[in-house]
Amino acid sequence: MSTYEQFFSDITTFAPFPYQARLGTEAWPSLLDVPTGLGKTAAVVIAWLHKRLTDDGDTGRRLVYCLPTRVLVDQTRLAAEAWVKAAAPRFRDAGRAAPSVHVLRGGELDERWQGEPESEAILIGTQDMLLSRALNRGFAMSPSRWPMHFAWLNNDAFWVFDEIQLMGVGVETSAQLQAFRDGWGVEGPSRSLWMSATVGAGQLATVDHPAPSGGFPRHTLLAEDRALDRVLERTQAKKRVILSELALGSSKKADEAAHLEALANEVATAHEERGGLTLVILNSVKRARGLRALLSKKVVELGLIHSRFRAPDRRVQEAMLAGEADRVVVATQAIEAGVDVSARTLFTELAPWPSMIQRIGRCNRYGKEAQAEVRVVDLRVEDDDALALPYDPAAMLQARGLLHDLGDDASPARLSAISFSPPVVVRPVVRRRDLLQLFDTTPDLFGNDVDVSRFIRDDQDTDVQVFWRSFEGTPAAELPGPGHGELCAVSIGAARDLVEKKLKSKRAKAKGEATKRLWAYAWDRTRGEWARVERPHPGQVLLLHVSAGGYDPELGFTGELRGDVPAVQPAEPSPRSDADQLAGDARSQGERWVELSAHLEHVEAEARELSARLDVSAADVLGRAGRWHDVGKAHPEWQRKIVQPAVDAGQPPPTPDGVWAKSPHRLRPPSGARKYLRHELASALAWLTHAPDEEPDRALIAYLLAAHHGKVRMAIRSGPQEEPAPDGRLFAHGIWDGDELPSVRQPAGASVPPTTLRLHLMQLGAGSWRELSIGLLEQHGPFRLAWLESALRAADWRASRKETEGAYDE
């Protein structure tokens, strides 16, 4: 047994298939084309672990595992955690920490991996959460964190896209992003692997990511794999195909209701005769809910799985899949890909051919059932195009023809023999100019951000996230943001129907306080408050009062305004809403007073140490940026905020005349203070005042100083609610032109002389901040520039954490 085969066996407790062994020892391909049930996830994760251990120069230190649906996320996480735990002794023997495993999803604040870019990590999430972050517009997360996730996901990262046949436009976007990384350059190896049991390379050949002359490198089963009994058992697994006599011919409400009643009878009869797990996959959440309601009168053990559940409720439903009793589970396409389940009987509506293959793969997955059966329910899309939703009618008609060619044998071997060419679909493609535009995270004058949903999912699939809370009147600014367990994904169409029609109609009949509870709210980071939403947009996080309804724990999101929604208390701490307002400065709130000079010294040291661990050439730039990063906290207005008043704690500063970087109480601007003051802008202005013009890194360090909180980056402009400066002076982010910054002590006895802050660079034209930042973007590229600002930010985090822990105390 080879070294790698032994490693694989030790981690998984079983010997690898030959293709898995080859993947761990050969160069990474672009495509992994392997039938379902043969361990693609294990093949990739364990190969990554081994290549990281052996310092493979083509394998990034972050494994980014991208999935099409939420159903797969926790399953993948549990498997990855088990494999990492088994591999941990190998990493310890090599003098290294084992990789950490994290799920990236809305409503969670997991800082560990973000603050340790030198550590190996496995990051798992859906295409919504991961691709939006890779485009610098992370859905359901703090905008000030966007640049950091953009940096870590595009540099030193190995992307794996699983079940790409279900990702739609996300495939083209992933290919374009890889082309941009190759073109602009990154810190650390960054590559992508696309995989599926029905992989198609056509979508990968995009305008900036053309297929190489010999085609994309592909890894698949060879003769030695196909000859194995374990492989034969799966690839020859018998599944009888029956075309049901039922067919839905109209999307009219009455016709659909009659059809579901007949389908419920057929499902119940088949389940009673055959037992085991009966899985029913329908194309719409609405029909799945309707069938579940009818079956509840006919079946005892019954589950419902779709993508419109809150996480705790979804887990209850998913547990039905792993049971042993005779049971029926009604599902949507959320269950198609990679779910480790094997049904004795499968009912499925007609769907595009790649989806049909995935659904059939959920039946007799491991070849253990002697009488497995697949029943296909036709949809007459030629008579009613609406029946095809969320799919294209042409793709449905093509699948119907291929089913007739298939006959009654749906074994994987037979399916692989069917010749299939996907219909040509024209999709929006993210281009270089789009990514450069997205690098600027400044909201427009109305507080809105660029919508990237068209690059992440096909139009009809874009989502918002909704959570329910109980509050009096309008929600207070202090109301925390949502935890992951509170969030429910809702299609943009359903969200708009709820907010713009149903809630609006109910508000018209309500009075007083009841009216306020019938609005949808979203966090306005410019104003630092919960604002009413008239029209939802994709990627938004909406707050509803529990009395607004729209959700049932057993059915998921219904959109029906009947009954209160049970509130969920998140198991994890919720991120505070005010941490993301432009005036927020949560990281200056600790457990002790820290002098500014000491904090500058600590961050410089952490930046240099981090650079050494990452073995990058930017150590001096990052070190000097650390020395200057918080010089702006000496601004009299900022010092007034940190010292007066000392709310939430009675502990005064150790010395009355000190200059402080951190305080042990919550910061609230005193009466009359400048609400939107950003100390990092003052730091950048001070640096530009004192750095010589011939300093080669003058512009870069200025940008890093301004950007290290993610709130002042490509643009400097006045906020819509900001108090103007007197005498018509320029003002932005709480800084007034002509403000005086006192002298600041720096590490090693150095100091910054008193500084008059000038804001002329916020004006357009030569020498402007806009010109400076665009020049840096052209010089370094978006990925490396984001990496630099995020490295400084991580150093600041580490120093702040150690200060809180007392690690620098003598």
CA-atom Rg of the chain in angstroms? 28
Kindly report the backbone phi and psi dihedral angles of residue 103, in degrees, each rounded to the nearest multiple of 5, phi listed first. Answer: -105, 130
Q: What angle do CA 176, 177, 181 make, to 5 degrees?
A: 120
CA 287, CA 306: separation in Å to the nearest integer? 11
Q: Taking a C-beta distance cutoff of 8 angstroms, is the pair 180, 18 a contact?
A: no
How far from 500 is each of 215, 345, 532, 542, 551, CA to CA, in Å? 48, 41, 12, 13, 17
Q: Write the DSSP symbol of residue 38.
A: S
Question: What pairing do the DSSP bridges indicate for beta strands 345-349 and 463-469?
Answer: unpaired
The per-residue pLDDT for 198 is 64
**71-93 and 40-53 helices cross at what angle (nearest 10)?**
30
The per-residue pLDDT for 668 is 66
List CB contacts of 722: < 8 A, sequence separation 6 or more.
675, 676, 731, 732, 733, 734
By the 10 Å C-beta count (0-12 exposed, 13-18 middle, 19+ buried), 444 is classed as: exposed
Kindly report the backbone phi and psi dihedral angles of residue 494, in degrees, each rounded to the nearest multiple of 5, phi listed first. Answer: -65, -35
Report the candidate in 49, 110, 39 with the shortest Cα–Cα distance to residue 76: 39
The per-residue pLDDT for 203 is 85
The DSSP string of 459-477 is GGG-EEEEEEE--SSSPPT
Q: Would you mind telling me the total number of residues written for the chain in this entry? A: 810
The per-residue pLDDT for 747 is 87
CA 420, CA 213: separation in Å to the nearest integer? 23
Helical H segments across 236-363, by residue range: 253-274, 285-295, 311-318, 353-360
The per-residue pLDDT for 134 is 97
Q: Write the DSSP symbol of residue 499.
A: I
CA 148, CA 142: separation in Å to the nearest integer? 11
Q: Taking a C-beta distance cutoff of 8 angstroms, is the pair 159, 191 a contact?
A: yes
The per-residue pLDDT for 418 is 83
3-class DSSP state of 545: strand
Report the candidate in 212, 213, 148, 138 with the shortest Cα–Cα distance to residue 179: 212
- Mean pLDDT by runs of 10 across the 810 residues of the chain is 89 95 96 88 97 96 92 89 97 95 76 89 94 92 91 98 88 96 96 81 89 92 92 86 91 94 96 94 95 93 92 89 88 80 93 89 85 93 90 91 87 82 80 95 71 80 86 87 86 92 88 86 82 88 93 93 83 45 60 91 95 88 96 93 65 82 75 83 97 94 96 88 88 94 90 95 89 95 97 95 85
How far from 281 is each of 108, 331, 333, 795, CA to CA, in Å? 30, 5, 7, 49
The per-residue pLDDT for 645 is 56
CA 139, CA 465: separation in Å to the nearest integer? 9
The DSSP string of 680-748 is HHHHHHHHHHHS-TT-TTHHHHHHHHHHTTSSSSS-----TTPPPPGGG--EETTEETTPEEPPEE-GG
